[in-house]
Structure 1
Amino acid sequence: MGTTGGGVWKTTNSGATWQNISDGYFAAASIGSIDVSDSNPDIIYAGTGSEGLRSNVSVGRGIYKSTDAGGTWKLIGLRDAGQLGSLAVHPTNPDIVFVAALGNPFGRNEERGIYRTTDGGASWKKVLYVSDSTGGVDVELQPGRPNVVYASMWRGERKPWTVISGAREGGVYKSTDGGDTWARLTNGLPNGLVGKSNVAVTTANPQRIYVLMEAAPGGGLYRSDDAGASFMVVDTTTRGLITRPFYYTNITADPRNDDVVYVGTEDFYKSTNGGRSWTTQPTPHGDNHDLWINPTNSSVMIQSNDGGANVSVDGGRSWTTQYNQPTAEMYQVYVDNQFPYRLYGAQQDNNNELIIPSLPVTNKQLDDPIMGWDIAPGCESGSIVPHRTNPDTIYGGCKGLFSRYSQRTGQERSYRVGEQSLYGNAGRDLIYRFQRVLPIETSPHDPAVVYTGSQYLHRTRDEGVTWERISPDLTWNPPERQQRASGEPITLDVTGEEYYSALYAIRESPVQRGVIWTGANDGPFNVTRDNGKTWRTVTPMAQPPGCRVQNIEPSPHRAASAYYAVLCYLLGDFRPYIWRTDDF
């Protein structure tokens, strides 16, 4: 199992337990692809960098190889090829491998394309190249004829204010000579704007090819029964098949029955008639990304989603647990002042949660590890912040929604800082622009005071019931980056992830009341020394424009001193920036 932030894991008992096998070897914990050699299962290849281009995606750092079933690993190249979202090992010669390299998810680069090695990774050749902005996202070998190769090419890129998915170049390509030459498949497939696509082949019928494609016009499911010479439209009306295509878009065909096909998006879809109709099947978690089916027994499968990996031995009617894989992605962590102290964290695709790690939660064996955690307010992206003096009260955030939670009663009250939903609106149309990671700061001088941020700094003195705005717009706010809703040129994705020009970090000096520092996700660093009455922009001239102020740390000794960190990777700049001031 390859995870988006926890490396590679292995099970030897059908998912009852999992063990990490990549720690200490990999330079990146985000895994985009993994394949085990059919002819020698001790040989494993793993490509880093997920092709699900969320706004917090980690950049890939090459492909790794193990020759001892995951006991040890070696970097074998493609370090600058970015997201390696798919790879295929030759069925009889494990030295021949194809890799789909999407490239840098945040900017143009020449390393995009389909790569091939014929010497086990000692050297690589780029065998298919479209452009410096369109890369490979899927590669498949035709069963029984491994010299026939199919590849999906995609223009996919992230910006802090939008996600780009699609262009007039890209689509599905085919090679019949082991990757030496390629031809784009166009007969029956969309030929306008083409977005992300995925190819499925099956040993049950090597002539049958399924293609799931984002496109305008014509996004949906296509099928070929002549190895790609022509395609027919199967389904362009089932909306769930093409949902947030930059994040999903995956299809798998049953190796024993060519009419059985699965699609993973927010739901998990199954068709038994070649894609003409669909049913949804339950999985342990939503947001479904990949599926492996045993080539000799279709009832045995491994399915992956935002919660982890789960194994079924009865065709998906039941699944193993995901609570044996400590691979959760945490947005931030807070510690309170109690003894024993509590640890608070916002977890991707799950609730905010807290635990008491300084003492055992019980002297008995837990039936399930989740029993050691408690639910906290807000949603997956947080923040989650404890009250400074009352350990019963916890504050949580969720895209402009502020919550107050009582551990004693288990009750949560939620208030919108501004009465406007972020969903479906362009930045220019919002009264308040909130980022999905809502910053929350409790005052070190008055525990009743809590701050949060849109493009303005907001303050409450009654735990979120009412709010006052205590600043002007503290962001850069270039108008050309607020003109339209996120998502282009095919699919809109207005979920509150890409709102640009919003506050991302807020801290009040522990030394002097009313000295408050703020940082925006488009660059400006500001300070007030009089509790919000007046403000100064103190961004260093040498700071690159448009980058995100990630964290602020006021000095515990001097009111005039503060440190802050800036991330520019979303603009293609991977250098670290840390600044300090000693004079406000």
Structure 2
Amino acid sequence: CISPAKSERIWAIIEAEDAGLYRSDNGGESWVKTSGNRDLIHRPWYYCHVFADPQHVDTVYITNLQMWKSTDGGTNFSEITTPHGDNHDLWIDPNNAQRMVQGNDGGACVSYNGGETWSTIYNQLTAQFYRIDIDNEFPYRVYATQQDNTSISVPSASAYGAITLQESTFPGTGESGFIAVKPDDSNIVYIGAVGSSPGGEGALQHYNHKTEQLRLVNIWPEEKYGWAPKDLKYRFSWTFPIAFSPHDSGIVYACGNHVFRTNNEGHSWESISPDLTRADENKLNVSGGLTIDSSGAEHYACISTFVESPHQSGIFWTGSDDGLVHTSRDGGKNWQNITPPNLPEWSYIFCIEASGHDPETIFLSATRYKLNDYRPLLYKSTDGGKKWSSINGDYPETEISRVIREDPTCPGLLFVGSETGIFMSTNSGKNWQKLGGNFPVVPVYDMKIKQDDLVVGTHGRSFWILDDLTPLRK
């Protein structure tokens, strides 16, 4: 970072054996280490940004888990309290250093007094949801896990006009993963909480709205921090699938690299599958370079999507984050690899959707954007996964595909969540068009269809509901 107040002064925060904040006063010809404070440099891949005050040459800011300020050339730092943790960005008005905008995992905040006080984060649609669910109340409520915040439940309508925060509830600590509401008792919620719970690897919570009791129901109690995934008994991804059986609400499934089942509200679990991933040990080492950062978010070779047939109990389909698709037709006793033969290797299987209209029809959406491949990967099978056909049709070639859903009323009416919005097909994927209107440009991570409503969970712009699908069903 070059100081706007003195162009010869350059700041650099360095991840190295002798890590810390460095300063050059001669345009980079020589450097001096001004601070080795570890609070300034932990989790280098996630934070570690330095910002020079535009008017005061010795004032410098660093955003990290906390936000820090030095007024003596980077030697001593004091913490600036912000409305939320995980601080990533800062803009300072070049003409008035007291005026700044700060970005964190809760949103954006404005200060007019150099960071002494900040505006609220509760005035903007910036929630980053991973997966959503819907209960059967009236009006129904929408549930989600949100990045670096609690899980949340929001009513779809209010008797008081606008829906307010006071009408929301917070079932579990959330942050990461799936969330599942018991179909016949919306008091009971299961929450994936790898990033926010003391439960360690595969943290899974059970919440009861009536008693307000939150308890851990982990499948296997094992710490994850600092461990290589290959050294753990089971592997659970940041967003591991959780689902109630559509045939018996007393049965819950959760997935790591195996499929697990409980019929006693998580007091005990049984594995009903072998490892359904590639389990390439070369990709299961500790993450990070100079700084080890095995937090659970980077765990790989895990099941990423799971669905039980709505037509017959004991028929399952799974997809993994390393590109495999499996099925079992006997309650998990036997499993078959049914990966589409032309699916590119190492694809992330984001979603498998079982059709509500035909027991052998399934849809699949995958992505490879982490491998710098932005093609959509959309497939359909009409024989339970024995044969697959591409339904990319005229879907844009550079729009990745995440979640896919079929309308429960109109066969062949499909919706796909992408990096920039929602695409729709009325003919099972032959042709696609983007839904417009006032829907923002935003990653769509999950969708559910509730009667005539399309409910959308975005990663950055909160919940949205398209409240009448009737015209699209014609």
Task: Give me the whole-angstrom Cα distance separating, in 1, the residues matched to 2:207 and 2:180.
Answer: 10
Q: Within 5 A, what are the aligned runs for 1:50-65? A: none
The number of residues matched between the two structures is: 377
1:321 equivalent in structure 2? 120
Identity between Structure 1 and Structure 2 (%): 39
Letter in 2 for 1:328: A
1:485-523 deviations in Å (ceiling 9; x for gaps): 0123x2222111121110111110010010011111111
Residue aligning to 1:506: 306
Partner residue in 1 for 2:429? none
C-alpha contact (below 8 Å) 1:331/1:347 kept by paired residues: yes
Do structure 1's residue 306 and structure 2's residue 105 form an aligned pair?
yes
Counterpart check, 1:210 vs 2:11: yes
Matches within 5 A, 1:33-182: none
Please give the alpha-carbon distance, in whole angstroms, between the structure 1 residues aligned to 2:363 and 2:93: 53
Matches within 5 A, 1:245-284: 245-284=44-83
Aligned AA for 2:187? D
Specify the code of the residue in structure 2 equivalent to 1:423.
Answer: Y
Give the equivalent residue in structure 2 for 1:228.
28
Question: What is the CA–CA distance in structure 2 between the aligned matches of 1:571 and 1:209, rounded to whole Å?
Answer: 34
- Which residue in 1 is equivalent to 2:188? 393
2:205–2:215 CA contact under 8 A, matched in 1: yes
What is the distance in 2 between the residues matched to 1:290 and 1:498? 23
Matched, 1:373 2:168: yes
Q: For 2:166, what is the secondary structure of its paired residue?
A: helix
Structure 2 counterpart of 1:331: 130
1:123-174 Cα shifts (integer Å, max 9, x gaps): xxxxxxxxxxxxxxxxxxxxxxxxxxxxxxxxxxxxxxxxxxxxxxxxxxxx
Supply the distance in 2 between the matched residues of 1:423 and 1:282 (Cα, whole angstroms). Answer: 27
- After TM superposition, the structure 1 = structure 2 runs for residues 23-34 of structure 1, keeping only pairs within 5 Å, are none
Map of 2:419 onto structure 1: none
Which runs of structure 2 are paired with 1:531-570 in the superposition (5 Å)? 531-570=331-370
* Corresponding residue of 2:435: none
The 3 A distance-change label for structure 1 pair 286 and 378 is closer
Q: CA deviation at 1:561?
A: 2.4
Query: How far did residue 396 of structure 1 move?
Result: 0.6
More divergent stretch after superposition (225-234 vs 317-326): 225-234
- C-alpha separation between the residues in 1 aligned to 2:183 and 2:52? 54
Q: Give the structure-1-normalised TM-score.
A: 0.62
> In the aligned structure 1, how far is the partner of 2:177 from the partner of 2:335?
27
Contact 1:398 1:438 in 2 (8 A): no
AA in 2 matched with 1:458: F
Does 2:218 match 1:416? yes
1:8-19 alignment runs, 5 A limit: none
The residue identity in structure 1 corresponding to 2:87 is N
**Paired residues of 1:438 and 1:452 also in contact (CA < 8 A):** yes
Residue 417 of structure 1 aligns to a residue in which SS?
coil
Amino acid aligned to 2:376:
P
Q: How far apart, CA to CA, are the structure 2 residues paired with 1:296 and 1:547? A: 48
Q: CA RMSD in A?
A: 1.7
Pick from 129, 137, 144: which aligns with 1:345?
Answer: 144
Alpha-carbon contact 1:261-1:270 (below 8 Å) kept: yes
| Contact 1:378-1:402 within 8 A present in 2 as well | no
Partner amino acid for 1:443? S
Displacement of 1:378 in angstroms is 4.5
Task: Point out where structure 1 has 5 or more consecutive residues left out of the alignment.
Answer: 1-198
| Residue matched to 2:257 | 455
Q: In the superposition, relative to structure 1, how do residues 378 and 387 fare at CA in structure 2: closer, same or farther (>3 Å)?
A: farther
Does the Cα contact within 8 Å between 1:377 and 1:384 map onto a contact in 2?
no
**Are 1:330 and 1:346, in contact at CA under 8 Å, matched by a contact in 2?**
yes
